[in-house]
Amino acid sequence: MKSSIFLLFTILIHTITFGQVYQSHHLQEDRLSIQLSEGVLNIIPLSDNAIRIQWEKNHIKENREFILINKLPVPLFKFGETSSKLKLSTRKITVLFNKKTGAIDYADNTGKIFLREIAGSRKLTPDSVLGKPCFVAEQSFDSPPDEFLFGLGQFQDGQYNLRNLPRKLIQVNTQIAIPFLYSSRGYGLLWHQYGLTMFNPADNKILLTKKDTVGGGKEDMEVTTTAGTQKVSQRQSLYTGKFTVNKDGAYSFMLDLGGMENRHLLIIDGEAVIDQSSLWLPPAVGKIVNLKAGEHSVQVVCKASNTPELSWKLTGNETTFRSPNAKSLDYVVFYGKDADDVITSYRNLSGNVPMLPLWAYGFWQCRERYTSSKQLVQTVEEFRKKKLPMDVIVQDWQYWGKYGWGVPKFDETNYPDPKKFIKQLHDLNAHLSVSVWENLDKKSEVAKPYVAKDLYIPNSPWIDIYNPEARKTHWNALNTNLFSKGVDSWWMDATEPENDALVGKQTYFGLGNFYRLTYPLFVSKAVYDGQRKTNPDKRVTILTRSAFAGQQRYGTINWSGDIGGTWDSYKRQIVAGLNYSLTGMPYWTTDIGGFFRPGPRQYKDKKYHDLLTRWFQWGTFNSIFRIHGYQSETEPWKFGDTVETNMRSMLNLRYSLLPYIYSEAWQVSSKGSTIMRPLVMDFKDDPAAIGQSYEYMFGPSFLVAPITKPDMTQWNVYLPKSIKWYDFWTGMQFAGGQMVKTAAPEDKIPLFVKAGTILPIGPQVQYAQEKKWDNLELRIYPGADGKFVFYEDQDDNYNYEKGMYTTITFRWDDKNSTLTIGDRKGSFPGMLTDRKFNIVVDTKNKGAKANAVAKQIKTVHYNGEKIRIRL
């Protein structure tokens, strides 16, 4: 009798709390539908290694699909049932649904579990927002202690491994929210929501009390901490509080300050555990802190106009997603042999990456701001005169002058005859990128068609980019005033829209809260679709400040927003970029030197020059290479001869690597690869490598270890296991699986090359297309077999989509010291039919300098037919 009562009680608890008692199931052609006591749970195989889970109830559903736009054929799958479980299997994933608990396990094709839902954690709690019904959707997954989690977009908290870290996923300046995770256990997870998402939410709130400041005074307040005295300006407020924890452990904290900030400062028991300053910081930040059992005191500093909230929880072996404005519970699990396999599967469903033009992989010269067409032309002329390679010059905001804020039109007062000056730039073999906004002045002449057709979001300065007519109208304005004049590239600024501006607004799709993260996706779509229709022979190149899942299909590059010019900010960008790269977005960059810089002293300040030089070196090995700065003249010669010389060295190195970089860009577009590669992508079986937060692979060959501290002359670099490595600068060999100390002179970044690398080295040029690649060096790093696919096309059109490109596969047989240059595959108009390869073997003590021949072995003439060379 007691056991029957207990069983009934258990069933009632599950029914009342979770509404997920299994009732029946129905196998359909494309899914397994499970009828629960509340709603239907669908298990949908999207491909051999992608499974979508959707739980819907109360007839509420999101009918719009923004991310998974590619409908692939339904993969073959098998179904089985036992008394306790339902089993659905594709070739690569097995899904196990537990009839008793309602939880799902995911296993690979050997039966090994790689991901588990935590029983009872799947929740759809009825709610509403501004009168619109919705749910709070929540799901937790098991996360063992040795798991590393990456992704979620670009954040400024400096955290590399996201396991247990709380985050608030919103779009603001310097923060990009993309709800995609990659795990060191080999799976990817897309949390398929378009609105606000809390990652690992902390629900224990701490009551904060605002302390009085010195009324009207000009003196700063002082807060004493174990890290020293902290200054609190009179434009800031100090809050205090207390809380108690019951046991020793690691606790996660979420500090949400309400609005954009310039200070993140959380002090616990007198120690600053979060401490970051910049003119722009996101509203929320998370941190994991080790605490002893007992009572603890906190202090929080924020802008006087903000109201902070602080919450905590004890960390555990779980990962949780929670979306408060959801229409269903919806996520997708991807699994593969490595990260490339996972990302390829994700892109196959959400859109593959188009090729950028060759020139986009060169150097982008940018500053805030050039004030005339004459200044733009003269700057490019000076680059050419000083033999400083560059391909793109960028016009920042306010070129619109008399036409009104954000209006995409050159004010002829300072930019007379746009077609003429842009042609001058083109004649100098430079390309022009122009800043454009989506909040153009409603009173302007250019905005009249928008206003007439009611294309602005009501009570907002932002156009309703969700409306197809708004996208068409917007492109027409850009085309008429800029693209038709010769503009080559788009700098889409503030595409969040700026600072989370959709909350509480009505859009073409409905209440903005439901689509809070997606605005940048549709801005990119408007420009990409518009330009491709207008001129299908010119590749779309968009630099934009924000992004959402799937945006990689629109020819976009992201940058990390208006960041500070400090060592701390620089370090955070490295981590931010690596996590961003694991969300399927391959093109990313920063404001080299920081957006907010130290004013006029920057041009002579040797300490700042150290930071700028190291940042520039790292920027050389970003997927896109770009400098920028607020109210700054960022040209290399502005900082003196030493900085200019060091920058020239890096520019020359970047341009010599263009054959390598462009070939890897083809791997991104054709194979789903990624150029900036956190070490988990290539060395998943080396825990020490996975944990390196400031090292990464640049393509398959280069290990990059940027200097992140001032005044360094030596640097420790971890070399991953199971392979030999070469110091790029000296040619010295090292075994993997060890930390090595390497020289770090001011003109060089620590750089290692993997054994087995076949590296094409291009000519020294001043712009990407200056010289043909008809006389390339092939540098071979022996010690392992190797392969490299060399790619060429017409550099700046979409004919490659029609098969107009060539590839040459190089193979290195290490045992027999033999290089095979394969038959050329494919063709395109204007391709090289004959060329020379200068084959160089880099061995110990023979690779003295970058771009210098280590030891020339042989020059071969190649006409497209296979050659084998014994070296």
Catalytic residue, candidates 138, 488, 562, 664: 562
Please pick, among 138, 496, 498, 682, the residue that the annotation labels catalytic: 496
Taking CB atoms within 8 Å and a gap of at least 24, the contacts of 376-384 are 376/421, 376/425, 376/432, 377/421, 377/424, 377/425, 377/428, 379/635, 380/425, 380/428, 380/430, 381/428, 382/635, 382/637, 383/430, 383/635, 383/766, 384/428, 384/766
Annotated active-site residue in 142, 256, 493, 727: 493
Identify whether the C-beta of residue 162 lies closer than 8 Å to the C-beta of residue 149. yes
Tell me if residue 416 falls in helix, strand or coil: coil
Residues 6+ apart with CB under 8 A from 412: 418
Q: Which two tokens stand for residue 771?
A: 């010289």
**Which class for 84: exposed (0-12), middle (13-18), buried (19 or more C-beta within 10 A)?**
exposed
Residue pair 129/505 in contact (Cβ under 8 Å)? The answer is no
Under 8 Å between Cβ of 366 and 626: yes
Q: How many CB atoms lie within 10 A of CB 32?
A: 20
DSSP string, 541-577: -EEES---TTGGGG-EEEE--S-BSSHHHHHHHHHHH
Contacts 24+ apart (CB under 8 A), 375-378: 376/421, 376/425, 376/432, 377/421, 377/424, 377/425, 377/428
Is residue 396 flagged as an active site residue? no
Known catalytic residue at 792:
no
Residue type, 158: G
End-to-end Cα distance, the chain: 84
* 134 bridge partner residues: 127
Cα separation, 571 vs 578, in Å, equals 11
Q: How far is Cα 181 from Cα 163, in angstroms, rounded to an integer?
A: 10
Measured CA to CA, the distance from residue 800 to residue 359 in angstroms comes to 16
Cα 241 to Cα 138, 260, 293, 296: the distances in Å are 29, 22, 17, 9
Q: Which residues contact 153 (CB under 8 A, 6 or more apart)?
A: 169, 175, 176, 177, 178, 180, 547, 579, 580, 583
Distance CA 55, CA 122 (A): 9
496 noted as active-site residue: yes
Any residues with CB less than 8 A from the CB of 101 and at least 6 apart, and which? 119, 120
Residue pointed to by tokens 């033009």: 357
Q: Are 192 and 548 in contact (CB under 8 A)?
A: no
Q: Catalytic residues, which ones?
A: 493, 496, 562
